[in-house]
Structure 1
Amino acid sequence: MTDLSLFESLLNCNTVEELHTNTTAIIGQMGFEHFLYGVQVNTSLTRPYRFILSCYPEAWRKHYDEEGYAGIDPTVAHCARTTIPIIWKNEVFKGRKEARVRSEAKDSGLVSGASFSVHGGRGEAAMLSLATSRESREAQDDILATMGRAQLLTCYLHEAVQRIVLSQGPLPLKQISLTERERECLLWAAEGKTGWEIANIVSISERTVTFHLQNAAQKMGVVNRQQAISRALSMGLIAPCTIT
């Protein structure tokens, strides 16, 4: 079976358990022993939705969460801001706290590895880390040789998670589509304008402004104007300078 066929098999999975089993098998064929996929969906600016699929050692996962290492781990920060992969080199973990994360990860069997990211069109950001217990020049060469395949795996895995997990919960199966007037009203509402002020700016009645804002909120599954603004911004449905 070719690499592409392997990756495409993820799209045929119907459960999280099946996806976990298939991903574990694929990363094993690529020379890795452990993987962790995580995605954050900004359905709320204060309480974003997170989903993790992992075959990392449970003791390390628990320790990592208890210590709040996600806020220290430089690979997490890197993948949040760029789609360029990052190899776990010592110079990446150059601070004292970062070096501690690296050292303790090695003690847990996550010795060599790399992290990959993908950013979806609906505001979600995902990251896949692949790790092995090997620490050698050969292990680093193997990681370099598989970077392209690993990035492709990240994309296919994210697509599978969207269908199995995200479309059933925080993200709708279909892309939300706001009308031009709904986006316009939301943008001015985000600027703090009242319904009356928006009506005067866009030359419609205040009742019509309320109608458009309610329609937008209903499409996004929220109940009020503030939530609609937050959801639209976090999902990339509105953005600065989209009014012409």
Structure 2
Amino acid sequence: MGTSLENFIETTQSIASVAGLKKTFLAAVAEEGYENAVFARTNERGLVSLPWAEFPSGYVDTYRSEGWDRRDPVVQRAHLARRPFKWSETSPRGGFTKDQMRFFEECRELGVHSGITIPIPGSGRDVDLISLSLRQRAELPPHRMTHLYMLSVQYWLKYCELSDRRDQEVVPLTFQERECLRWCKEGKTNWEIGEILNISEKTVEFHLSNGMRKLGANNRITAVIVGIKTGLIPL
């Protein structure tokens, strides 16, 4: 089943270098079946920076020299997406343009096949993204999208900590805020959490919203990861 989220968080907590963090993350996604991976910062115009990329030789150089970031529908979609997505989902209503189809074909020729992308809002209007893909034509591995999302968010939070891009401090959560986030970690819906805690769905939404705001998270998954990292939510 691959690396559990709990083990990944525990392992990354003690990592002291960006290089060590990258190695641990790549090992975790490799267990999920992904051979290619990239961590990039983008804006609406294209690629801003590329902290690292694990692709077949020549792919990154070609991507940069050909200005593919301005053609890449994955980069374009990342600024609109609020959740992880498959590359096949980036097709516009009328289908991919000939230019986009040629782009994907050139990628495949260089050993970059179907994949998924996890967008993470960065500073300002920038979006950080992590993309995972295959090196040969094949079906994508069985999707554990939420699991991959959580691994990626934990990687990103630890990367920010190591590179001094984000300074997190422990903030107090109420008992019910912690409980709602704890049950979110277990995959429970608002209705299920309400039944467990004997409160209404609307009250669950209220506590989750407050918890996300206090933790500086723009979604529940990020809030859960931050809560685990800071010891507010038990593993």
Q: State whether structure 2 residue 162 is matched by structure 1 residue 164.
A: yes
Q: Could you tell me how far 1:4 is from its partner in structure 2?
A: 2.8
Contact 1:8–1:156, Cα closer than 8 Å, also in 2: no
Contact 2:73–2:90 (CA<8 Å) still a contact in 1?
Answer: no
Aligned mates of 2:90, 2:40 — CA distance in 1: 24
Could you say which structure has the higher helix fraction?
1
Give the superposition deviation at 1:15: 1.6
The separation in 2 between residues aligned to 1:118 and 1:30, in whole angstroms, is 20
Question: 1:73 touches 1:101 (CA, 8 Å); kept in 2?
Answer: yes
Tell me if the contact between 1:36 and 1:54 (Cα under 8 Å) persists in the aligned partners: yes
Shift of 1:133: 2.4
Letter in structure 2 aligned against 1:70: D
RMSD value, Cα: 2.9
Kindly tell me: are residues 159 and 124 of structure 1, through their superposed partners in 2, closer, same or farther at Cα, counting changes over 3 Å?
farther
Aligned residue type for 1:156: Q
Q: Which amino acid aligns with 1:104?
A: E
Cα gap change, 1:91 to 1:157, in 2 (>3 Å): closer
Indicate conservation of the 8 Å contact 2:37/2:131, yes or no.
Answer: yes
1:103 CA drift (Å): 0.7
Deviations 1:192-232 (A, max 9, x none): xxxxxxxxxxxxxxxxxxxxxxxxxxxxxxxxxxxxxxxxx
TM-score relative to the length of structure 1: 0.58
1:69-218 matched pairs, under 5 angstroms: 69-89=68-88, 92=91, 94-120=96-122, 124-136=126-138, 139-140=139-140, 142-143=141-142, 145-165=143-163, 167=164, 171=165, 173=167
Which amino acid is 1:155 matched to? Answer: V
Show structure 2 runs of 5+ residues with no match. Answer: 170-235
Per the alignment, residue 195 of structure 1 pairs with: none
| Aligned AA (2:86) | I
Q: CA deviation at 1:6?
A: 1.7
The answer (yes or no) to whether the contact 1:83–1:116 under 8 Å persists in 2 is no
Percent identity between matched residues is 16
Q: Which runs of 4+ in 1 moved over 3 A?
A: 120-124, 171-175
The answer to whether the Cα contact below 8 Å between 1:117 and 1:154 also exists between their aligned partners in 2 is: no
Structure 1 residue 35, shift from structure 2 partner:
0.4
Deviates more, 1:152-161 or 1:91-100: 91-100
Instruction: State how far apart, in whole Å, the 1-side matches of 2:28 and 2:167 are.
Output: 26
Compute the TM-score of the two structures, normalised by the length of structure 2. 0.60
Shift, 1:9, TM fit: 2.5
CA deviation string 1:80-103 (max 9, x = no partner): 222222212287271122112211
Moved more, 114-123 or 56-65: 114-123
Q: Any stretches of 5+ residues in structure 1 without a counterpart?
A: 176-244
* Bigger Rg, which one: 1
Distance 2:90 2:157 in 1: 32
**Structure 1: distance between partners of 2:35 and 2:57:** 14
How many residues align structurally? 163
Judge conservation of contact 1:75–1:86 (CA < 8 Å) in 2.
no
* Separation in 2, partners of 1:153, 1:11: 13
Task: State the distance in 2 between where 1:131 and 1:84 align.
Answer: 17
What is the rounded CA distance, in whole Å, between the counterparts of 1:83 and 1:11 in structure 2? 26
